[in-house]
Chains A and B, each alone.
Chain A
């Protein structure tokens, strides 16, 4: 996945300490995802098991697409996290941002309401569920 989607760069603390300072990486392992203009779009600090790491990479691709205004692509990336890695911590964040990307693409506010509704059955005890709760329709 890394080879196909990214320009990969590796800095070793003993060989290039200046790079750690330049990009604000005070700890290892740290992985930064930058868009093609060099702006940071996602940060992974600390070790993660392979499925969690892969999910975070997809999440980063989603954030990069979102920041570039490519909302349909962002939805696909966030959707991939939900489909391929539903048990990871990245999934709740992906569910949140997938709804936001859909709203940004369509302007349809129901995308946010449906996202809030989805959090009532999945990833309920996460900070992302709390963030989405503001979009929930008032209960009568």
Chain B
């Protein structure tokens, strides 16, 4: 199953807080 990447940092931070999960931020320049 593919990873569902978020692109909104603040939304992801809120989800991390509510789920008590760490965040993985991937900074890329690779072609989509």
Measured CB to CB, the nearest residue on chain B to A18 is B9
| A positions within 8 Å CB-CB of B | 2-3, 5-16, 19-20, 22-23, 25, 28-38, 41, 57, 60-61, 64
Cross-chain contact B23 with A34 (CB below 8 angstroms) = yes
Within the assembled complex, what's the spacing in Å between the Cα atoms of A8 and B2? 11
Interface size class on chain B is: 20 to 34
Can you list 11 pairs linking A and B with CB atoms under 8 Å apart? A5-B21, A6-B21, A7-B22, A23-B9, A23-B25, A23-B27, A29-B28, A33-B25, A35-B16, A37-B17, A38-B23
Binary CB contact string for chain B from 5 to 26 against chain A (1 if under 8 A, 0 otherwise): 1111100110111011111111
- How many whole Å from B14's CB to the nearest CB in chain A? 9
Cross-chain contact B9 with A8 (CB below 8 angstroms) = no
